[in-house]
Amino acid sequence: MPKQFELIIFDWDGTLMDSTSTIVSSIQGACRDLGLAEPSDDAARHIIGLGLNEAIAQLLPQLPEAEFPRLIERYRYYYLGKDHEIPLFAGADSVVRDLHAAGFLLGVATGKSRRGLDRVLDHTGLRPYFHATRCADECFSKPHPEMLEQLMDELGMARDRTLMIGDTSHDLLMAKNAGVASLAVSYGAHARADLLTHAPLECVANIQEMETWLLANA
């Protein structure tokens, strides 16, 4: 059966890597250090996937922009202290390797910085399986379509042959803004009900369901 898609683009945090709780606790710790009200878990989860400046502006709209670097520094202090301990979701590495072996082009579109993504690509050993990647400090933040547009341009891929996989509304809106189909995963940062409002092709509950869906439909 011919493949429906040729390019599969993954979000990273909350989609391939089980980092949601670490991101939330790091945001909360940074706010405490600056004497700011600690955001709820739900509020912190909602901004996952955005670039750091965009995330802060949405989470803390009253915070002067001049204070953003201090908050980012404290966030990185907490996150990087645990970065090496954060695992991929069970089976995520196998899915990436299997899709690569099956001949798909693979990409990453992430709210991480280039430095952060390079670190985890090397730590997980997955760098060789991705053909192109884009980060929040290289493009407009999600849900702007620039990350996907650049990846498709670099790899010479049409919109109707490209699939975006992500765990947040920001991922699915980015796909919609780029004219690209999406697959939602409900085991990450955003709730299934919120994801379904953005009309993904499907919403899967775990990595195993993702692989089954991709093998049958991609």
Indicate which residues carry an active-site annotation: 11, 13
Instruction: State the CB neighbour count (10 A cutoff) for residue 95.
Output: 21
167 beta partners: none
Instruction: State the CB neighbour count (10 A cutoff) for residue 109.
Output: 29
Report the relative pairing of strands 7-10 and 181-185 from DSSP bridges. unpaired
| Phi-psi region at 156: left, alpha or beta (left = phi > 0; alpha = psi -120 to 50) | left
CB under 8 Å to 171, separation ≥6 — which residues? 11, 15, 49, 109, 142, 143, 164, 165, 182, 184
Provide the token pair at 196: 């379904």
Whether residue 86 contacts residue 17, with contact meaning beta carbons closer than 8 Å, is answered with: yes
Provide the token pair at 116: 């952060």
Provide the token pair at 68: 């953003």
Count of residues in the chain: 218
Nearest of 5, 14, 12 to residue 105 by alpha carbon: 5
**What's phi and psi for 162, nearest 5 deg?**
-120, 140
